Structure 1
Amino acid sequence: MKQLLNTVYVSEPDMYLALKGKNINLLKNKESIARIPLHNIESISTFGHQGASPALMGECMEQNISLTFFTSSGRFRGRLTGEVNGNVTLRKKQYRISDNEEESAHIASHMVAGKIFNSEQLMKRTTRDHALRVDVSQMNQIIDRLHSSRIEAMTCNDLDELRGIEGNAANAYYSVFESCILQQKDIFFFNERNRRPPLDPVNALLSFAYSLLASESAAALEGVGLDSYVGFLHRDRPGRTSLALDIMEELRPIIADRFVLKMINRKQLTSKDFITKENKAVILTNEARRNFLQLWQKEKQEEVTHPYLKEKVSWGLIPHVQALLLARYLRGDLEAYPPILIR
């Protein structure tokens, strides 16, 4: 259980939420673990299938406290709200900003700058920790290019120009991504980012990790009342969760890329975990996919200090915290959207 920005996150899947007086009563195996006063809570997010008591749901509706249910893996299940709720106002603000390219660029610039900063830090960490195994001069050149792109992004107020900056930064980043692969380089080689379909094991892993991250980001956005299909950097397209793609930009290097590199460098995968199909697409075997998901879920439990909140947060809650910060910015509670910047 974690409380951040007046939101309670219950991440243990076997925890049942009940009402005790004017408090949330957290029950595990019918034993009370903790009680939290409802009077200063805006929302509750619970992960798992144990659920909540009708009495608690009724009290939440009375006090306009949203109660959001996710599966243990982070998939959005549903959201309970009271008669009076700010979701309509919040979403109308989101739609207005999405229709205004200059305002959209203002928000998107922070997301792109966050992505580039986190890409820089991943490169710096590799250079620092493995200086004898990488081309330090080449890495430093790319780090400098990323730094320049980040400065450009922060002052950019045009969406097309911002996309160009992000694209150039991504190309520079991926040009040295293989340097971060330290083990089994005969199997896990990386020449360029390719998808639809991925043509090598590294791209297959990145695509799978990005798909998971996009799904979890969409669930997080729906959990705070935002429309995951209406974005700022990524424009509307039927069936595409554009805002989830926006908010996950800054999360790609620190969650997805970092996780894939860790799996490869720890030798948790081998050539036997991949299948090459007739169209040259490379996919994970069913067993490898299960292994990937188990390790992904385990990784989500590890904690990191959120640089904006100055509190420890599990990796799995990072998309939820960023969605909440974005909602607060749209409501006018924050002067700017703060992307997560991990050193």
Structure 2
Amino acid sequence: MSFIYITDEGAKLQKKGDKFLVGRNLEILMEIPKEIIEGLVLIDSVQISSDAVVELLKLGVPTTWISTHGKFYGRLESTRNVDVFKQRRQILSQESEFAVKLCKKIAAAKVHNQLTLLRRYNRREEEHAKEIASLVTRLQILQKNIDFVSEKEKIMGYEGASARHYFKALGMMTPSPFSFERRTRQPPRDAFNSMLSFGYTLLMYEIYTALCNQGLSPYFGFFHALKNRHPALASDLMEEWRPVLIDSMVMSLVHHHEVQPEHFMRSEENDGVYMTREGRTIFLRAYEKKLRTMNRYLTGEHSYRKSLTIQAKKFSQALMAEEPEIYEPIRIR
């Protein structure tokens, strides 16, 4: 089974027999047997025929459209898994004790994973070692503070403060062509932030799909505030995974020189920095490799993509039983 990313400008996806064809003008770029498609991501101006749309709906293949800048356009999805009773429970649980306890668990796990990643890279850091060590200490204090509060606003306040310290430290550990001072988005102001934003968008809709498959609504969360058109629950469950999957992957890309400054360009439209087509190809290859990497953090040995599915199922079980203990966020070592 494969996740397919179609990035060729002007390409068109069509169905022919038991295959999908990706073509441009009169040239066939790719033939994809329908049995192997696990998910589909179309970037910017890729077109899709109506018969391909119908077949993807029949197969239940999640199909996502994003821009070359990583902006989410929309998704093609069926309603076969919608469970209104679970979604009603989501709405009723938003301000409950269940929600607060889950917020604490996920916020604490996220900070733990941030600390683990910083410690991995601080071992080789010399120039900023003392300043990074100080930031790590602040993160440790904030992590402990999360355990002693029971208001969602305070939990989010500590989580936000930890993120600022974390990204400041991460920027110091990054090789000079990709070093940065803080997290920037909409638009990203540097190459490192550009990769983070693109990766978070991809990860968000991996989790979105996993939640939909459990019959849940990705839009009713328990941590982030409700906002029109924002999948709050997918964003909530993504928090523990950001350092584990995207931040660590981007650090690997820059430290192993797999991406170069020439793989990025500055937009004249908004002064943001974005990946070139070649840069996106390198990034998507690394992203797929990361999601298919096996791990033992949850029960048994699974790919990280399977782990996302397991966590969505665990959340569903915890929600319906109203027992936050059922859900255990990932904590890397």
Write out aligned runs for 1:286-325 (5 A): 286-306=277-297, 308-309=298-299, 311-325=300-314
Q: Is the 8 A contact 2:63 2:76 kept in 1?
A: no
The residue aligned with 2:68 is: none
The residue aligned with 2:89 is: 93
Instruction: Determine if the alignment matches structure 1 residue 107 to structure 2 residue 71.
Output: no
The residue aligned with 1:245 is: 235
How far, CA to CA, are the matches of 2:3 and 2:292 in structure 1? 12
How far, CA to CA, are the matches of 2:105 and 2:114 in structure 1? 14
The residue aligned with 1:147 is: 140
How far, CA to CA, are the matches of 1:152 and 1:13 in structure 2? 40
The residue aligned with 2:121 is: 126
Instruction: Determine if the alignment matches structure 1 residue 329 to structure 2 residue 313.
Output: no
The residue aligned with 1:45 is: none
SS at match of 2:178: coil
The residue aligned with 1:57 is: none
Equivalent in 259, 264, 275 of residue 254 of structure 2 = 264
With over 3 angstroms needed to count, the CA separation of the structure-2 counterparts of 1:76 and 1:248, relative to structure 1, is farther
Q: Is the 8 A contact 2:62 2:209 kept in 1?
A: no
Structure 1 gap segments, 5+ residues each: 1-10, 15-47, 53-66
How far, CA to CA, are the matches of 2:237 and 2:191 in structure 1? 26
How far, CA to CA, are the matches of 1:149 and 1:68 in structure 2? 46
The residue aligned with 1:161 is: 154
SS at match of 1:50: helix
Equivalent in 23, 35, 46 of residue 50 of structure 1 = 35
Aligned length: 275
Q: Is the 8 A contact 1:13 1:49 kept in 2?
A: no
How far, CA to CA, are the matches of 1:134 and 1:305 in structure 2? 34
Q: CA RMSD in A?
A: 2.8
Q: Is the 8 A contact 1:90 1:225 kept in 2?
A: yes
Structure 2 gap segments, 5+ residues each: 5-32, 38-57, 65-74
Instruction: Determine if the alignment matches structure 1 residue 175 to structure 2 residue 171.
Output: no
Write out aligned runs for 1:27-106 (5 A): 49-50=34-35, 69-71=60-62, 77-78=77-78, 80=80, 87-98=83-94, 100=95, 102-106=97-101
Structure 2 counterpart of 1:116, one-letter code: V
Q: Is the 8 A contact 1:234 1:246 kept in 2?
A: yes
Deviation, 1:89, is 2.8
Q: Is the 8 A contact 1:76 1:222 kept in 2?
A: no
Structure 1 counterpart of 2:183, one-letter code: R
Structure 1 counterpart of 2:305, one-letter code: G
How far, CA to CA, are the matches of 2:59 and 2:301 in structure 1? 22
- Relative contact order (C-alpha < 8 Å, sep 6+): which is higher? 2
Q: Is the 8 A contact 1:68 1:79 kept in 2?
A: no
With over 3 angstroms needed to count, the CA separation of the structure-2 counterparts of 1:274 and 1:51, relative to structure 1, is closer
The residue aligned with 2:111 is: 116
Any idea what the Cα deviations from partners look like across 1:17-37, whole Å, max 9, x if unmatched? xxxxxxxxxxxxxxxxxxxxx
How far, CA to CA, are the matches of 1:258 and 1:314 in structure 2? 16
With over 3 angstroms needed to count, the CA separation of the structure-2 counterparts of 1:244 and 1:191, relative to structure 1, is same
How far, CA to CA, are the matches of 1:196 and 1:212 in structure 2? 16
Any idea what the Cα deviations from partners look like across 1:210-252, whole Å, max 9, x if unmatched? 1111111111111111110011111211110001110001110
Q: Is the 8 A contact 1:68 1:80 kept in 2?
A: no
Equivalent in 259, 275, 280 of residue 284 of structure 1 = 275
Q: Is the 8 A contact 1:49 1:72 kept in 2?
A: no
Deviation, 1:138, is 2.6
With over 3 angstroms needed to count, the CA separation of the structure-2 counterparts of 1:76 and 1:148, relative to structure 1, is farther
Deviation, 1:143, is 2.1
The residue aligned with 1:60 is: none
With over 3 angstroms needed to count, the CA separation of the structure-2 counterparts of 1:115 and 1:235, relative to structure 1, is same
How far, CA to CA, are the matches of 1:329 and 1:260 in structure 2? 32
SS at match of 2:309: helix
How far, CA to CA, are the matches of 1:13 and 1:258 in structure 2? 21
